[in-house]
Amino acid sequence: MSLYGLFYRIFIIATELIPYRVLYQIGKLMGLIFYLTPNKHKRISLENLNLVFPDLNRKELNKLLKESLFHSSMNILESGMVWGSKKYINDRKFIEVRNFDLIKNSISQNKGVLLFTPHLGNIEILINYLGSNFEAIIPYTKPKSNTLDRVITKSRNDAGVKMVPAVASGIRKILSALKEKKLIAIASDQVPKKGNGSFSKFFNKEIYSMTLLPKLQEKTDCKVHLMYCERKKNASGFVIHFKESIDLRQGTQEGIDRMNIEFEKCIMELPGQYAWEYKKFKRTSLKSIYKR
């Protein structure tokens, strides 16, 4: 085992052994440190927040920034919980699920189901939950670290999730799976590679978005639902939300626009829990904000 592999293993074991309420308090401290010191996460988050919420005053913006950095810290500290033994997944007090019947109803219609989500709360919670209930398939972009890749791959496989590469061969597998009436989950708020997306609007700003969802629904007549994860206050757990099915087949561009509108709606319910440290506008004319 490499040194990095040993580090990840120790970190996962350590964070799994620490009670979640203690991790929650550590997350508050980590978030405060990120807020008070110069760092990449703070800089990018602040640029995105300034762009998306231009009408907020400094006090409101700083409050939102602090919340975002806290939730980003918790995503790190929850590594042991989501990548370890996953004992939490059957704790109904810790994991609350809303509108799950909507997904069951779509599945009962003998159609494929396509779930999409923004990076809000902790998406590994969503992945583990889906894996424990369905034969779920997700596209996956391999991280730069081979060690981290092995950790994530093992964790998701253990959770019962099948991963396919986010390349042409993987997309073909997803298309076939939907035609076979299976369930697919995609974090579709990520910026795609050049040539794999189209320009749309995100909080009235230009954004480069993936075209995959409306194309998949057009080709397979699958049911499409938004889902997202909410981290509850005071270390009391998470809420997994499922929304009513939507139609993205009005045309590819219209479908992308509708997808981003749905993202905006759920982000505005929990703006501090969205991953604002991601370079959301990097393939647009606004990309220069990340170099300031």
Separation between Cα atoms, residue 158 and residue 267, nearest integer Å: 30
Look up residue 175 and give its two tokens: 């298309």
Separation between Cα atoms, residue 156 and residue 116, nearest integer Å: 17
Amino acid letter, 119: H
The 8-class DSSP code of residue 57 comes to -
Angle at 58 between CA 54 and CA 122, to 5 degrees: 75
Please tell me the predicted confidence (pLDDT) of residue 115: 98
Please tell me the predicted confidence (pLDDT) of residue 154: 87
Backbone region of residue 278 per phi and psi (left: phi > 0; alpha: psi in -120 to 50; beta: other values): beta
Please tell me the predicted confidence (pLDDT) of residue 1: 58
Look up residue 109 and give its two tokens: 């219609």
Contact 239, 96 (CB under 8 A): yes
Please tell me the predicted confidence (pLDDT) of residue 104: 94
Contact 128, 96 (CB under 8 A): no
Please tell me the predicted confidence (pLDDT) of residue 243: 98
Residues of the chain with pLDDT under 70: 1
Q: Give the model confidence (pLDDT) of 45-104 as tens digits.
A: 999 999 999 999 999 999 999 999 999 999 999 999 999 989 898 888 999 999 999 999
Contact 183, 189 (CB under 8 A): no
Please tell me the predicted confidence (pLDDT) of residue 147: 82
Contact 203, 52 (CB under 8 A): yes
